[in-house]
Amino acid sequence: MSVDIGIDLGTASILVYVRGKGVVLKEPSVVAFDRDTNEIKAIGEEARMMLGRTPGNIIAVRPLRKGVISDYTVTEKMIKYFVQKSLGKRTLKKPRISVCVPSGVTEVEKKAVEEATYAAGAREVYLIEEPVAAAIGAGIDISKPCGNMIVDVGGGTSDIAVISLGGTVVNRSLKIAGDDFDDAIVRYMKKQHNLLIGERTAEEMKIKIGTVCPFAEESVMEVRGRNLITGLPKTVEVTASETEEALREAALQIVEAVTGVLEQTPPELSADILDRGIVLTGGGAMLRGLEGLIEEKTGIHTMTAEEPMQAVAVGTGQFVEFMGGRKGI
What are the tens digits of pLDDT across the range 221-236? 999 999 999 999 999 9
The reply to whether domains 4-133+311-327 and 143-176+247-304 share a CATH topology is yes
Fold of domain 4-133+311-327: Nucleotidyltransferase; domain 5 (3.30.420)
Alpha-carbon span 155 to 175, nearest angstrom: 9
Residues near 317 by Cβ (< 8 Å), separated by ≥ 6? 4, 5, 6, 17, 18, 19, 98
pLDDT at 296 (0 to 100)? 94
Place domain 179-245 in its CATH homologous superfamily. ATPase, substrate binding domain, subdomain 4 (3.90.640.10)
Residue 46: how many other CB atoms lie within 10 Å: 14
Half-sphere exposure of 137 (CA within 13 A, CB side): 36
pLDDT at 259 over 90: yes
User: Residues 295-320: what's their mean pLDDT?
Assistant: 91
Q: What is the DSSP letter of 155?
A: S
Architecture of domain 143-176+247-304: 2-Layer Sandwich (3.30)
With a threshold of 0.85, does the pTM exceed it? yes
Domain boundary assignment for the chain? 4-133+311-327, 143-176+247-304, 179-245
What would the mean pLDDT of 118-134 be, rounded to a whole number? 90
Q: In degrees rounded to 5, what are phi and psi of residue 256?
A: -60, -40
Give CA angle at 149 (156, 185), nearest 5°: 30
CA 47 from centroid of its chain's CA atoms: 18
Cα separation values, 140 from 134, 163, 189, 229, 279, Å:
9, 10, 40, 52, 10
How many C-beta atoms surround the C-beta of residue 215 within 10 A?
9
